[in-house]
Structure formats: structure tokens, C-alpha cells
Amino acid sequence: MSNKINADKLAHLGEVVFLLDLDDWQTQLSMQEALLDCKDLEMDDLEDDKVQIILTAIDEGDALIDALVEEQVEDRQVAVARLGQIVTEITNIIGGKSFTKAYMPDGDTINAFLAEHVDFAAEASGLVLQWEQDGSETHIEALRRLIHTIKGEAGMLQFDELGELCHKIEDVLDHSLEQGNAGHLLTTIDRIDGIFLSLEDNGAMTVSLGAEEGNVVESESLPFDIPDFDLETSPYRSYKDAAPLPEEADADMVSEFLDEAAEHLHAVEAGLLALDADKADNETIDTMFRAFHTIKGLAGFMNLEREQRLTHRAEDLLDAAREGSLVLDRSHYGILFATLDTFNKLCDGLREALESGMMPEMPDLPELLHNLETASGRKSTTIHNKPNGSVDVDVNPMIMQQVDGAQNAALESEPVVLPEDRRPLGEVLVDADMVPPETVVRALRKQQEQSEKGEQKKLGEILVEEGRITKKELHTALAGQKTGKVVSSSTMKVDVTHVDGLGNAIGELVIAQNMLTCLSEIRESPSRQLQTIMSQLTRITRTIQDTVTSLRMVPVRPVFQRMNRVARDLGVKIKKEANFIMEGGESEIDKSLVDRLGDPLVHLVRNAIDHGIELPADRVAVGKQEKGRVMLRAFRQAGHVHIEIQDDGKGLDRSVIVAKAIERGLIQDDVGLSDEEVWSFIFNAGFSTATEITDVSGRGVGMDVVRRMVEDMRGTIRVHSVLGTGTTVSLIFPLTLAIIDGMMVSVAGHTYIIPTLSIHTSLHLAEQQITNVGGGAHRLLDWQEHQLPLFALRDLFDQHFTEADANRSMAIIVSDGNRDIALEVDAILGRQQVVLKPIDRSLPDIPGIGGSSITGEGHVCLVVDIAGLVAMTTTQETKIA
Amino acid sequence: MSIHDTSTSSLAQLRAGRGSADKFLTFALHDEVYGLPILSVQEIIRIMDITPVPHVPDFIRGVINLRGKVLPVVELRTKFGMEKIEDSKRTCIIVVQIQAGADTLTMGLIVDEVNEVQNIAKDNIEPPPSFGSSTIDTSFILGVAKLQKRVVMLLDINKVLSEQHLTEVSEQIQ
């Protein structure tokens, strides 16, 4: 692949020449290196005379750089310019590719691009899978939009290979779409995802990646051609024209528009009613005017022509009234009320269209428009040509914005209103340091002059004409305008480190606030005012804490969608068909949890299909539907997130698991073991019922992974299974991971915190409930007909040095989700919200300790890790049983 | 002055340093004087409530809350095999930063008493003594300095609480 080497080296050369200052000696040295690298290239595929030219050019460049570095040239400028020429010559001969690489989007742009499409693979494959299932066009439509967006952006960022891939997918979607193509589409989507990943790693896509992708795809004989990234035929084609994207009024925007319009219409209605009741003043008319004006602007922005025309006429009428050239009377009110009603109907129509996808019959406008026009006494100019209004160009940014807004409007053939959520081009350019503010002002002035002469020119055009910016910069800036629009909407992207930082700070705040409330000076203070302030502080702290917690919440959907894919692929592989159903994908859970949920879910899904769902023939034989059903569900309940995976397969067989558990020495018999206790054995490392091992999943390892992860995230597992009807595995996690609800207990003079999540109940220890086993070495506690192993926390934690007050001791029944044990503590001190603090890494993981927390008094308390503790006791317990 | 051949590269670095003297924080432990390079010391705090941690070696007395951070503290007496004594008013915790691979760990060291910060000229630092094949481990001694008739043992804190010792911590647990 000599082309590949060429391209890499040349890209490097290109970078050196185009990005760096040629008159800098370091640049020159690295360029020299790059030049000499080129000399080593394989040049088999070039004619001899061209090779000769290249070699000569390299030598000249080499000599020139030597001279430059040693400062032995007469005219540096000339020499440097010549150097640039040499590189251009060489790269021209070998292929134009390196020039397209010369423009390297900066890291921020790439990151923004990646962040935008972080869920692309999940989303796209989700759509393909849904389409494969129901064949509905809407999924393909959504996929097409998705791909189109990426294609456009890729074009703008000059990620040519990415663009080509998207382009090909689009072709397939448009022309040769068959159900059987789903697999190929998925492969291609994976490939695109691969490109994203490599972008993330490298910050820039390498040419080699594209070339290899092309080959791989071809070898798998896709039904469509993936372009061969041959350098001679510079893949720099028409699809670039797709960027920037055409404006599409998507559903979200329309519904936002409707919401906003409704608000303004209310204002208008209130104003009209006031007018009608003769309670109106100029302010009322102004308000109504502004409301229509805003709606008009929005409608224009959304290309909703009818809405725009209507509001425009209403605005004219009110404007006339405002100026005093018209006195409003009842006949006008009638027309305005009619306008309002009609507009409401239009909005209803739009809403309906959004829901059904069909545009209903719209009310007739011409008559109303005519009425409005006559009433206002203005033979209104058509909207599109409405003069921009005179604006003094000044350095004042506000005015700049207005002028620019006007310009923007002209650019989009929209009304004169500056769409509120679009940043003026001038501002974008100045912000991006592409041009100094003075230049923008000058250009705006020029634009103003020209428009007076009747010439309409866009600001961007003027700047390009004057050579202030390049076309490319203009495109980037135009895209920036759009990004600006997105950012100013209801969401914004924040670096996760900021959120983490905030979370930590809030943790401190909670501690400080706890300390304050614990202070005896404050608690015992007679001042009522102080008490009020304290409770206020507590409330505010809690609100902030909740808000910050919610900041970290993201929908679980992307992970679910990945599982859909896993289920499908596995189903195809082992020939078990299963409908995969997702519910509650919109449930929000902590981001760190979402990030780690993938692995365990993969295991559970695989298990459900491999072990749970029977072969189609077997299913029919037992009277089930041929296709199995796997349901993934997420929901919130009482401060916890539940993730459930349910299959309608054959269920767990108690006798098989019990036999295996006995064989492994975990138990001697299953007397007194509940189903749930039996099921919990499947989470033991290496526990696998021999008959069920396949090459896809051998129960044991996978389930062990699930258990570990769930424990790590302080969650619990519940299994519910009925033989012959199916299995449900529930993973239950606390909503937030940083702040927990804990029970403070005292053990040998020290305070420990037990997460309330793991606690069943607590009770006073009475002698008669305890049975001694093994000569007093072990104890069993009778609790609700169960004999639970009882451990003293002081023994588990090696704290022998204070005498216990036996009369006061308490037992806390805790559970790791599978197994219940009783813990003996000296006393229960109370319940509190505590902020989890990791212990400094210099201490290794301590069994039974999950972390620490700082109390109101500033002391460190250790937080008990129940799962770890139960694991610690397991060996001892087995001996008893 | 002739320099003894020493395998302690830190000492070599110490000697190769630009200045002619380095600053050491000296402290007392069982009537002996020790010194720590001042650069590894983050701060000195009075002895405070220490929360014991189960299943760790006895030289780790527990964890403390240092302005919201939870740090382990090492009982230096126990670490050096000296007898335990009751904390007194002069007992201090020296918070040090140690290098473990790429990580910087923060720990507290409990000492009997903190003395002062001393300039010790490089020329006054001798390589660590060798006690032959005796049981005394001198690997964590950077060098020995003599100051006003007192001998100060300069500690290489990274070695005192080296990774090896930390793994020892985890081994003990298992």
C-alpha cells in the first residue's frame, strides 16, 4: 500500500506547510525531515520523469532549508516562498490528497462533532433493528436524517471517508433497500462508529483508516460499493455541497414554536379583552404588537408561510394604531379576534400534523388577510421585500446585532426580525477570532450602503469578496451560527469534570451543613431566628444536592439499544428467534452507572436467549409462541432504579441448581432454602450447571461479572423464576452513588455506617432467640421462622478491645440481595444522609468496608460494604449449614 | 571529600543538586532524631481523632479527615519496630506525599515530636550505615547527618512506605 505511505507522509508535509510559520527554524527542520522522508517513498506507480522532478525538488528544498537555518540566504521572504512552492509541486505530482488534509479541524471542533454523535451507533442500529422488525418507513426516514446530518458535518470537517460511507448508506436507503440488507447496514454503521472511535483517539482521521475500511467492506461483499479511497481520484466530490445542511423544520422545533406562540397568543387575547372592555392603554397595544411581531419572526424562521403572513398583517394593523394613524374601534377588535381564532386553528392544525404526520385542512386566509389589510389602511409591501429599516451602523454591538440580524433575514429570505435564537454571523466570526470587530463593522456599513443602492448582499459574501475570510471559514462560521442556536435552546453541553467538581463541592457543603446543625451552640440556641435560618439552610442544601444529582442523570436508552443489537446477533447465531422489547429507556440514571451497565446487561441478555429461550420447535411443543420474548425494562421506585430483564423461556430448574450446589459443596441439602436463595447460587463464580454450558455463555463466569459489577455500584440483584414460564432478573441500584442514606451504629466505641438499602430490619437481641452451634463458636438468630447466621461486627472487624454491653446490643438483619445475615452491634445511633468518600488509594481495598464518610463532628466513619461482609462470612456459614 | 560508592540514587541526586545544602524536617522518635526532605512534607497537624480500620497491618493506625479528604496514618514507631507509647500533647502527624509509580499518595506519619527545619549541607551527609547481615533494614535511610553532636537519620519516605510495603498491606488482609 504505497499510496498509504505517501499519503501519511504527504499529509505531514501538508500540515507543516499550511499550518505552521515557514519562517520559523523549527518548522523548517521538521519540514526538512518530512522532505527527506518523501525521498524514501516507493515511487513505482509514478513515471520516471515525475520521480526525477520530485527528487530534484526534494534536493532543492533540502538545500534551501539548510541555507535558511544557517542564515545564508539573501532574501528570506523569497526563499520561504520558494519552499512553499516546492512542497506544492511535490504534492501536486503525487496526488492532491494532502491538500485536503491541510485543513485540519481543531480539536474542539472534532470534539463537538463527536459529542454530538456519541450515541450514533446505538441510535442508528436501533433504527435498523426496528425497521427490520416492522418494516416501517419512519425508521428509515429517521436513519436517513441521522446519516444525512453526519454526512453534512463530515463534509464540512473534511472527513471525506466518513462522508463517503454515509453517502453510500444514503444511496442504499434511497434505492436498493431490502430487509436482507439490515446486516450490511449494521456492519457499515459499526464502521462509522469505528471511525468515530479512531477520531476520538487520534483527533484526526488517518487516511489509512479510510482505505482499510474500504477494503474490509468490499471483502464482505456489501450490496453497495464502498468507495475505494484511491489517492489519484481524489475523493473530494459533490456531496460536500450538502454542507451546511438545509434548514429543516423538525418536529421538536415546531412543537417549541407552538408552545411559544401559544404564550404570545395568550398575551394578545388578554390585550384584546382589555381593549374590548375599554380598559386598554398604549401599553396594551404595544404588548400585542410585540407578541405578533415575535410570532411572525418565529414563523418566518420556521418557514411557516401562512402563519407568518397572518401575523404580519395583524402586526401592521397594530402598528398603525400604535403610531396613531389609526384609531381602533370595535370593527377592528372583531377582525383581531378573528385573526386570533384563525391563528389558533392554524396552530392546532400544525399540532395535529405533528402527531399524525398528515396536514389537516387549514382555514381560509385570504379574506381575513384582506380584512386586516383594509383595516390597517396599509397596502402592505410583500413581506419578503420589506425594507430593512434604517439602522445607524455604530460600533455598538447591540446595533451591530440588529444590522446583522437584518442581513441574516435577507440571507434567508425571511422577515426582518432577528430570530432570537440565531447568533449574528458577525458575532460568530469575531468570537472565533476569524476577523477583528472593526472589519465586521466596516463590512456592515458597506452592506448598508449597498442595500441603499438596492443591492442585497450577505455579510459573509462581502467579507469573502474583500478577502477577509475564506469561503471555508464562512461555512464554519455559518455552522457555528447554528450551533449557537442549539446551545441557546433548552440544553447545553457541559464538561463532565465540571459536573463532578460541582458534585464534590456539594458533598463538602452537605458535610459542613451537617456539622453546623450538630453544633450544640446552634442546637441549644434559644434564638428562633437562628433556628429558622438553619432549617432554611438545610432545605436549600438539600435542593442543591438534588439538582446536582439530577445533573448526572442520563437516559438509559443507548445501553438498551446496544442490548437490542446483542440480542439480535445472538439470536441469528444460535437460531433462536426472540422479540426484544425495551421499556423505560427514557428512565434517567447516574451517568457512571450507565457507563458500567453495558457488560452485565450483555451477560444477562445472552443468558436469557442462550439458556432461557428454548428452540422454536421446543417452544411450539409446549404451547408457547414460536418466537421468544426478551424484555428489558427500566423504572424508578422509591429512590432506586430497577433494571429488569425478563424472558419467557424455560425458567430455572431448582433441582438442577440444588444438585450442582451440593456437588460443589455449597450446601448439603436444600431444606429450608427459599427459591430466591437457590437462585442466588447461579451468581457464584464458576457455578455452572453442566448441561447448560454452550460456547456462547457458560453460566457462572458471566453471572459472576454481573454480581461484581452490581455490588461495585452498591446495587442488589433479585431473581424471580418459574420453571417453564421464564425468568426475571432485577438489578436494583440506588439513584445516586455519591450520597447514601445510612444507619449509624456503634461497635466497640466506634461508629460505622450501614447503608439503609441493605437493611431489612433491626431488633433487640434477646437470649432466647439465639441458638449456639458448634460449642458456641457460631450463633443462629431466629428471625421470622428463619435461622440466620449471627455475627458480631466487632469480631468481623477485629475490635476486641472494649467490653460490650450485652444487654443493650442490637441485631441488624442485612442482605446482599441473595443472602440474609444478622449483624450484632452495640447500639444504633440513628439515620443520616452521608456523603461517601473514597479512602485514599494508599490503602488497598478492605473487605467489608465500602468507603468512608465524614460525620457532622468532622470524624471519619467507615461505611460497611454488606456484600463484601456477606462474602467474608460465607465460608463460615457454610460450615454451619 | 571522597564520595563513597552508594547504590542510593536518591543520595546521588541529593548530592548532585544545585545548592550546597538541603532543607530537612527533623522529628523525634523514641529519643532518636530523623529527618525528612522538606519537599515531601505537605503539612504538619496536631494529633487528632483517628478512626481505626479493620484488617490492615498494625502500623496503620487508621484514617483521618484532613479537610474533607480521608487519609491513612502510619504509626512510625510501630513501623520501625519500636514500643508503642500514649499520644502526648507533642504528638504530631506529618502529612507526606509519596510516589508510588505514577500515583502520588498522601499519608500521615505519627511522630513523637516535630523539631525544626534544618539546612543540612550535602557535605555533611554520609551514606547509610551498614550493619552487615544484621536484621536492621536500612534500605529506607537516605543518609546520615551529624548536627551539633546529634546524629540525624535522613529517611527516604518513598522507601519507608514503598509499594512493596503497601502490597504487604493487602497480602496481610488476604
Inter-chain CB proximity B69 and A862 less than 8 Å: no
pLDDT tens for A821-855 read 888 888 888 887 777 777 766 676 677 887 888 87
A454 and A527 share one domain:
no
Nearest CA in chain B to A748: B52
Query: Measured between CA atoms, how close is A573 to chain B, in angstroms?
Result: 42
B102/A contact by beta carbon, under 8 A: no
Inter-chain CB proximity B65 and A859 less than 8 Å: yes
Q: Residue A350 is part of a domain; what is its CATH number?
A: 1.20.120.160
Give dist(CA A580, CA A630) in Å, integer: 5
Q: How confident is the model at residue B132 (pLDDT cuts 50, 70, 90)?
A: low
Q: Which of A529, A551, A573 is the last residue of a domain?
A: A551
Inter-chain CB proximity B105 and A840 less than 8 Å: yes
Query: Measured between CA atoms, how close is B132 to chain A, in angstroms?
Result: 32
Q: Residues 31-70, chain B: which have Cβ within 8 Å of A?
A: 49, 51-56, 60, 62-65, 68-70
A843/B contact by beta carbon, under 8 A: yes
Inter-chain CB proximity A845 and B107 less than 8 Å: no
pLDDT tens for A676-705 read 778 878 877 667 654 554 544 444 567 777
A280 and A347 share one domain:
yes
Contacts A508 to B, Cβ<8 Å: 68
Residue A144: domain span: 107-182+202-231
Inter-axis angle of helices A25-39 and A76-94, to 10 degrees?
30
A796 and A773 share one domain:
yes
A175-189, A614-628, B60-74: the lowest-pLDDT one: A175-189
Query: Measured between CA atoms, how close is A839 to chain B, in angstroms?
Result: 5
Give dist(CA A284, CA A276) in Å, integer: 12
Mean pLDDT of B114-122: 86
pLDDT tens for A126-140 read 888 888 777 777 788
Contacts A848 to B, Cβ<8 Å: 54-55
- The helix/strand/coil state of A493 is coil
pLDDT tens for A370-383 read 777 777 665 443 33
* pLDDT of the residue at B112: 92
Give dist(CA A2, CA A634) in Å, integer: 52
More confident of the two residues A870 and A155: A870
Contacts A852 to B, Cβ<8 Å: 51, 63, 70
A68 and A116 share one domain:
no
Please state the domain count of chain A: 7
Residue B95 has pLDDT above 90, yes or no: yes
Give dist(CA A572, CA A568) in Å, integer: 6
Give dist(CA A338, CA A355) in Å, integer: 26
Q: How confident is the model at residue B136 (pLDDT cuts 50, 70, 90)?
A: low
Contact indicator for A687, A681 with CB cutoff of 8 Å: yes
Helix (H) or strand (E) holding A196: helix A182-202
* pLDDT of the residue at B110: 93
Nearest Cα to Cα of residue A90 among A64, A66, A56 = A56
- Class in CATH terms, B9-173: mainly beta
> Which DSSP symbol is given to A848?
T
A334-341 long-range CB contacts below 8 Å, 24 or more apart? A335/A368, A335/A371, A335/A372, A335/A375, A336/A268, A336/A272, A336/A288, A337/A272, A338/A368, A338/A371, A339/A310, A339/A313, A339/A314, A339/A368, A339/A372, A340/A265, A340/A268, A340/A269, A340/A272
- The helix/strand/coil state of B145 is strand
Beta bridge partners of residue A630, listed in sequence order: A580, A647
Query: Measured between CA atoms, how close is A794 to chain B, in angstroms?
Result: 10
Q: Residue A124 is part of a domain; what is its CATH number?
A: 1.20.120
Give dist(CA A814, CA A788) in Å, integer: 10
Residue B109 has pLDDT above 90, yes or no: yes
Mean pLDDT of A717-744: 81
B172/A contact by beta carbon, under 8 A: no
Mean pLDDT, chain A, whole residue set: 70
Inter-chain CB proximity B70 and A797 less than 8 Å: no
Q: Residues 3-22, chain B: which have Cβ within 8 Å of A?
A: none
Inter-chain CB proximity A858 and B64 less than 8 Å: no
Residue A195 has pLDDT above 50, yes or no: yes
A334 and A417 share one domain:
no
- For residue A556, is it within any domain? no
A844/B contact by beta carbon, under 8 A: yes
Inter-chain CB proximity A841 and B105 less than 8 Å: yes
- For residue A187, is it within any domain? no
- The helix/strand/coil state of A178 is coil
Length of chain B as a residue count: 174
A157 and A302 share one domain:
no
- For residue A196, is it within any domain? no
Which of B40, B47, B60, B63 to mutate: most A Cβ within 10 Å?
B63
List chain B domain ranges. 9-173
* pLDDT of the residue at A38: 64
- How large a percentage of chain A has pLDDT more than 70? 64
Query: Looking up cell 548532585, which residue turns up?
Result: B16
Inter-chain CB proximity A842 and B54 less than 8 Å: no
What is this model's ipTM?
0.77
A859/B contact by beta carbon, under 8 A: yes
A365 and A402 share one domain:
no
A834/B contact by beta carbon, under 8 A: no
